[in-house]
Structure 1
C-alpha cells in the first residue's frame, strides 16, 4: 500500500493520478470531496497532520508514503514521521526544495525545509528527498491578467529560473515510491533550461497565438501582491527568494529527471502549449 498526501495540490494530485489503478493506493485528505485525481480505485481517508489518530488510521498497512507539507508554522513533518514510525512505514518520499542545498539561501521557507529534511534523516526510516526548482505551474497566477488584458506582470523579468514541470516531479516521485535504489537519495529537479519571465511570456504568446505584453513589477508592487496572499513572514521569504533568482542563484540545470525516468524534462514551451486553455 502506498499513501499519498497533498493529493489536492499541484504535485500530489499528479502522483495520485499516476499511481491510480496500478497498485493499492490510499490518499490522506481533509475533505474527500476535493480529491478527484485518483479515480474510484483509491481509498480516501479523512485526516490531517494535527490529528495523530487519523494519521495512524491512514498509515496502517502502508509500505511507502509521499509527504507534502506547506505550513511553516506547524510541526507537520514531525507529526507525520512519528505516526509513520508507529505504523511500520518503511519509506517516505518527501517533497522538499532545491534551495535546501544552497548555503546562500537563508530565507524562512528554505530553513524550514532543511529542518524537515533533518527530521526524516534522523527518523530511522528510509527516505528520498525531491528538491525541485520553482514549478512551471506558478505561471497560472498570471492567467487572469493574460485573459483580461494580455499582460504578464512579474518581478525581475530578465532573471532566469530553471523551473520544472510538476508532471516531471510526479514521475520521479512515482519511481522513488515504487522501485528500488532510491532510498537515501536527494534528487535536485529542474527543467531543461533556465528561463526568464519575459521568455515565458513569449512562450505563452506563441501557445495562444496572440501577442502578450510583459510588465515589470517594482519590489513594492510585488511585495504588496504577496501580502494579499501570504502572511508577512512568508511574503518576505518569497521576496528574498526572488532576489536569489535575480542574482543568478536559480539558473543551474541538472539532468535528474532524465536520469531517473529515462525521459527528458519537459520545457516551458511544452507546458504552455498543454495549459494554453487556462490563459485563453
Structure 2
C-alpha cells in the first residue's frame, strides 16, 4: 500500500512519518522543501515537492498513491479560509484524477458545526468536499493540541496565560503524538470503509484552571490563567503581527465553541488516548521555558 502524507514536519506529521517507517512502510512525504526532511529519514522515505495549495503539484506528486493523510496547512495569511479552499481544491483534484480511494483527514472538534468556528470552518469545508467524492474517508476530529502551549513560551516565562474561554469549562486536550498514533493505525487498517468520523480526545477533559495548576506544578513557578475579553485577545493577536482576517479566524476557533458547545462525538474508549498533559509538560515545556 502506497501511503502519502502532507506536512511531514508538522506537530503530527513528524511522529506519523516515523511510525509508518517503524511499521515497515516507505511513506511518500509531500513537502514544499525537500531539504526540510531530516537526513536520518531520507533512506526510509520518498519525497515529492508539492505545495498543498497548488493543485497541479499535488496531483503530480500523488500519482500511484493508495492512501493519503491530509492536513490543511495553517499559515500566516491575509485570508486563511481562502488558503484552506485552495488546499481542498488540490486534495479533490488529486483524489479524483489519481483514483486515490482512501483518505484520512486531520480535522478538529468544532468542524461538525460547519460554520461559525473561525479557522475550523476551513476544515469543515474540506470534510464536506471529501464526503462528496464517495471514497473511503476518515475525519479525525482532534481536541486542543498540547503543543499550542509552546506558542506561548514567553508568556509562560512571565507566569501568565490568557484565554477567551471560561476557566472552568472542560474540553478535550490531546498530544500530537497520540493523533499520529490514531492516524497510523487508521491508515494501516484495511477493514474500515465508507465515511467515518474518529474523534481524538486525549486522556481527559481539562479546564484552563486545571491546565494552569499542572503548569505551576511542573514548572515550579506560578502560572496564572486569565480570561480576557474577545477584543483584548484580538488586539493581542494583531499586535503580534497577525493579519486582521487571520486574527479573526484564530479568535473564532474559541468563540465558536463557547455557550454550551458539546462535541458531536462523546468521549469513549475509542476516542480516549493515553498521553497525559502533566508528563508531556515535563518532557516538552519545562526545558523550553526554564532553559534546561
Superposition TM-score, scaled by structure 1 size? 0.86
Of residues 224, 228, 234, the one that matches 1:213 is 224
**Deviation (angstroms), 1:32:** 1.7
Of residues 35, 38, 44, the one that matches 2:37 is 35
The aligned runs of 1:140-159 (5 Å cut-off) are 140-147=150-157, 149-156=158-165, 157-159=167-169
* Root-mean-square deviation over aligned CA pairs: 2.6
Give the conservation status (yes or no) of the 8 Å contact 2:173–2:201.
Answer: yes
Structure-2 separation of matches of 1:37 and 1:129:
31
Of residues 261, 264, 277, the one that matches 1:268 is 277
**Deviation (angstroms), 1:86:** 1.6
- Tell me, which stretches of 5 or more residues in structure 2 are unaligned? 74-79
Between stretches 87-96 and 150-159, larger displacement belongs to 150-159
Q: Give the match for residue 248 of structure 2.
A: 236
Distance verdict in 2 for CA 1:38–1:88, change over 3 Å: farther
Give the conservation status (yes or no) of the 8 Å contact 1:136–1:166.
Answer: yes
Structure 2 residue 130 is matched with structure 1 residue 120: yes
**Deviation (angstroms), 1:38:** 7.7
In the comparison of the two structures, how many residue pairs are matched?
275
1:149-184 CA deviation, whole Å, 9 max, x = no partner?
A: 233333343343212211111111111111123332
Q: State the SS of the aligned residue for 1:117.
A: helix
Between stretches 163-172 and 239-248, larger displacement belongs to 239-248
Of residues 168, 175, 187, the one that matches 2:178 is 168
Give the conservation status (yes or no) of the 8 Å contact 1:194–1:253.
Answer: no
Q: State the SS of the aligned residue for 1:73.
A: helix
Distance verdict in 2 for CA 1:174–1:37, change over 3 Å: farther
Structure-2 separation of matches of 1:116 and 1:102:
13
The aligned runs of 1:190-201 (5 Å cut-off) are 190-201=201-212
Of residues 131, 140, 150, the one that matches 1:130 is 140
**Deviation (angstroms), 1:246:** 4.3
Distance verdict in 2 for CA 1:226–1:238, change over 3 Å: same
Distance verdict in 2 for CA 1:50–1:241, change over 3 Å: closer
Structure 2 residue 60 is matched with structure 1 residue 65: no
**Deviation (angstroms), 1:30:** 0.5
Give the conservation status (yes or no) of the 8 Å contact 1:55–1:83.
Answer: yes
Q: Give the match for residue 20 of structure 2.
A: 19
